[in-house]
Amino acid sequence: MLPRTLILPIAAALRVAFIAPPASHYVPMLPIAHELLDQGHEVTFLGLADTVAKIAKLVPQAHTRALEASVPADGEPKKRGMGMIQELPYSVAQLFTNLVIPLLGNLIAGQMLLPARRVLLELKPDVLCVSFIYPSLYALGEALGIPVVGVGWATPSFLTVQNELPWSLEPNCGSIHSREEVYGSLPTLLANFGVRLFSFFTLRLGSVVNSIHRFRIGHPRPLEPWEFDCVLQHPLLLQTLPELTAGSPSLLGPYTFMVGILDHPGLGGNSIAKSDDAARIIEWLDARLAAGQRVLYVAFGSEISPSEPMMRLLAGAFEEASEMHVLWATKARPTLPLPSRVLVTSFAPQRAVLTHGAVFGFLSHGGANSVNEALMLGKPMAIMPFFGDQMAVARAQQELGVGVLVRKNAPSSELVEAVRRIAGEPFAARSRQVMELNQRRSDMRRAVEVIVNHGSGAFTLHIPPPPAIWMRLVPLLLTLLLALACCDLFGCVRARPQVRSC
């Protein structure tokens, strides 16, 4: 028995606030929120109205507060825009990725800052949990004096030190190419270097946007907007394990905690939202399992809407792979006739589906939620990436041995071949190995402990900012000088001395 002096008191209940960003970046927060509630802490989610409406169904014991912010909502303009983006060739998509990722987080989070600030001043939480890919949200906690904890997946992301080194040979985060392909081809190497240099400039531009937001919320250090600083100066809960990164660069700092991929029974097998079609889907899967029939689960996330050519590609692949049944979750209703072996639903309880014994594999777009849930539940993947870091994610899973990358312009025969490969025992065995590793090493207790320790002040988990603020401006000044030199070289700007006439 421990001496009485070594027995620590049970932590008092904390008020924990989560800022839920749009899209699906709030999903890693959900199991942790459930566990905090189980331990008696008070949890409140702040987010856009449609986001917190989904969360209220997934974590009904939590409080929710809708923020009034002018962030583009789902609708026909967004649908058309996403349709254009997903059709971009990979060579252009990597440029788009390296432009949008450093800007989008700052622009979207920036619209949420002032409404969230008002709510946080009212709630007075003990700790604030944010998605680490939205650096402006860290600034909100710093401005209000609230301890901040970052939460997120650890798939290859833009927030790596590699982007501070544009001359690095590491594939850029939007690249479809492996390291070997980059190293083995001079044109590919030069193109990758150009994209990395481009990403270096856009990251600086994102920092300028972040600095503007800091001024708006009264941050004490508005000229220190560097994303890496704010992320690495605070605790960061990454839902991964070192063995699962497949050599991909990831965020690592003194307070980075890899806690494994987490789940909670309170989610009921759901992921990004609660499925209204769950009972019918599980009944259909049970019937397939009883009949000894194997099922491929197909879902391309909340942002991908299959185009007509893609519909034909998938329909052709489903027809050719006659030995398997298909569960297809898609927002866009198929316009082509499909085999009777295909069950179509608008939304599936993804974790419950991936747990089911009838499902042998997952055809996915490579989104972080989908990939990590497949890793956690032991299902191999055929990944068809479209944009963002999906290409890098697909490569990482292929190198890990749990997935096969299929290009979006591939013929249906290539897609069928990839699906048949993941149906084989080597991929199934490797996926089970990854699942079992995560089962042994995932640590929900550690994740909650970090939040409680930081929020209660039991342990200091924060690096003070560097005092020499002017040093932080050196990279930006060098970047501006380089930009001016390039403009002068290519004739964009000409500096001509003024000669006074007599």
- Looking at per-residue confidence, does 495 or 117 come out higher? 117
240 with 384, same domain: the answer is no
- Tell me the per-residue pLDDT of 346-365, one tens digit each, with 9 for 90 and over: 989 999 999 999 999 999 99
The amino acid present at 348, given as its one-letter code, is A
> What integer pLDDT is reported at residue 59 of this predicted model?
96
Please say if the pLDDT value at position 157 is more than 60.
no
Q: Is the residue at 268 inside a domain?
A: no
- Tell me the per-residue pLDDT of 445-455, one tens digit each, with 9 for 90 and over: 999 999 999 99
423 touches 324 (CB < 8 A): yes
How many other β-carbons are positioned within 10 Å of the β-carbon of residue 167?
A: 8
Q: Which residues pair with 47 in a beta bridge?
A: 20, 66
Q: How confident is the model at residue 471 (pLDDT cuts 50, 70, 90)?
A: low
Please say if the pLDDT value at position 49 is more than 80.
yes
CATH of the domain at 116: 3.40.50.2000
User: Can you tell me the mean pLDDT for 220-249?
Assistant: 79
> What integer pLDDT is reported at residue 78 of this predicted model?
62
305 with 426, same domain: the answer is yes
Segments of 9-153 assigned E as strands: 15-20, 42-47, 63-66, 127-131, 148-153
Q: Is the residue at 352 inside a domain?
A: yes
Q: How confident is the model at residue 283 (pLDDT cuts 50, 70, 90)?
A: very high
297 with 245, same domain: the answer is no
Please say if the pLDDT value at position 500 is more than 50.
yes
Q: What is the mean pLDDT of the chain?
A: 85
48 touches 279 (CB < 8 A): no
Helix (H, G, I), strand (E, B) or coil at 441: helix
- Which domain covers residue 146, as residue numbers? 10-262+444-456
Nearest to residue 325, comparing CAs of 354, 284, 364?
A: 284
Tokens 């989008």: give the residue. Answer: 104
- Tell me the per-residue pLDDT of 252-268, one tens digit each, with 9 for 90 and over: 677 889 999 999 999 99
Please say if the pLDDT value at position 6 is more than 50.
no
84 with 127, same domain: the answer is yes
Nearest to residue 173, comparing CAs of 199, 147, 148?
A: 199
In sequence order, which residues have a C-beta less than 8 Å from that of residue 461 and are 6 or more positions away? Answer: 147, 234, 235, 255, 450, 453, 454
CA 381 – CA 423 distance, rounded (Å) = 9
Q: Maximum Cα–Cα distance for the chain, whole Å? A: 99
304 with 359, same domain: the answer is yes
> What integer pLDDT is reported at residue 470 of this predicted model?
57
**Out of 167-176, 264-273, 384-393, 464-473, least confident range:** 464-473
Q: How confident is the model at residue 337 (pLDDT cuts 50, 70, 90)?
A: confident
246 with 297, same domain: the answer is no
Please say if the pLDDT value at position 37 is more than 80.
yes
Helix, strand and coil content of the chain, in percent to the nearest 5, comes to 50, 10, 40
Q: Where are the alpha helices (DSSP H) in 164-262?
A: 179-184, 186-216, 227-232
> What integer pLDDT is reported at residue 94 of this predicted model?
87
Tokens of 241: 């394990």
> What integer pLDDT is reported at residue 179 of this predicted model?
84
Report which listed range, 67-71, 174-178, 247-251, 495-499, is most confident: 174-178
Nearest to residue 291, comparing CAs of 325, 317, 319?
A: 325
> What integer pLDDT is reported at residue 130 of this predicted model?
95
214 with 334, same domain: the answer is no
Tokens of 207: 């920092």
Q: Is the residue at 31 inside a domain?
A: yes
Nearest to residue 394, comparing CAs of 413, 367, 374?
A: 367
In sequence order, which residues have a C-beta less than 8 Å from that of residue 186 and are 6 or more positions away? Answer: none
User: Can you tell me the mean pLDDT for 437-462?
Assistant: 93
Per-residue DSSP letter, 224:
-
- Tell me the per-residue pLDDT of 478-490, one tens digit each, with 9 for 90 and over: 777 877 887 777 6
How far from 154 is each of 240, 250, 255, 257, 415, CA to CA, in Å? Answer: 6, 7, 15, 11, 27
> What integer pLDDT is reported at residue 231 of this predicted model?
80
Q: Is the residue at 4 inside a domain?
A: no
Please say if the pLDDT value at position 302 is more than 50.
yes
In sequence order, which residues have a C-beta less than 8 Å from that of residue 344 and are 6 or more positions away? Answer: 328, 330, 333, 334, 338
Please say if the pLDDT value at position 156 is more than 80.
no
13 touches 37 (CB < 8 A): no
243 with 285, same domain: the answer is no
Tokens 């089962």: give the residue. Answer: 439
- Tell me the per-residue pLDDT of 73-106, one tens digit each, with 9 for 90 and over: 555 666 677 778 888 888 888 888 888 777 777 7
- Looking at per-residue confidence, does 238 or 468 come out higher? 238
How many other β-carbons are positioned within 10 Å of the β-carbon of residue 115?
A: 17
Question: Which string of DSSP letters, residue by residue, matches 48-88?
Answer: -HHHHHHHHHHSTTSEEEE----PPPSSHHHHHHHHHHHTS
> What integer pLDDT is reported at residue 467 of this predicted model?
56
> What integer pLDDT is reported at residue 219 of this predicted model?
87
> What integer pLDDT is reported at residue 133 of this predicted model?
82
Per-residue DSSP letter, 397:
H
User: Can you tell me the mean pLDDT for 153-157?
Assistant: 64
Report which listed range, 1-10, 262-271, 407-416, 422-431, is most confident: 422-431
Q: Is the residue at 367 inside a domain?
A: yes
248 with 367, same domain: the answer is no
> How many domains does the chain fold into?
2
Q: Is the residue at 475 inside a domain?
A: no
Q: Is the residue at 419 inside a domain?
A: yes
> What integer pLDDT is reported at residue 84 of this predicted model?
80
- Tell me the per-residue pLDDT of 304-336, one tens digit each, with 9 for 90 and over: 878 888 888 999 999 999 899 999 999 888 888
Please say if the pLDDT value at position 23 is more than 50.
yes
Question: Which string of DSSP letters, residue by residue, matches 357-382?
Answer: TTEEEEEE---HHHHHHHHHHT--EE
**What are the contacts of 416-424 at 24+ separation with CB within 8 A?**
416/317, 416/320, 416/321, 418/382, 419/296, 419/317, 419/321, 419/324, 419/361, 419/363, 419/382, 420/321, 421/382, 422/360, 422/361, 422/380, 422/381, 422/382, 423/294, 423/296, 423/324, 423/360, 423/361
Please say if the pLDDT value at position 227 is more than 80.
no
**Out of 2-16, 224-238, 313-327, 424-438, least confident range:** 2-16
In sequence order, which residues have a C-beta less than 8 Å from that of residue 307 and are 6 or more positions away? Answer: 83, 86, 87
135 with 161, same domain: the answer is yes
How many other β-carbons are positioned within 10 Å of the β-carbon of residue 144?
A: 18
Q: Is the residue at 88 inside a domain?
A: yes
279 with 418, same domain: the answer is yes
65 with 127, same domain: the answer is yes
Name the percent of the chain lying above pLDDT 90: 47
Please say if the pLDDT value at position 10 is more than 70.
no
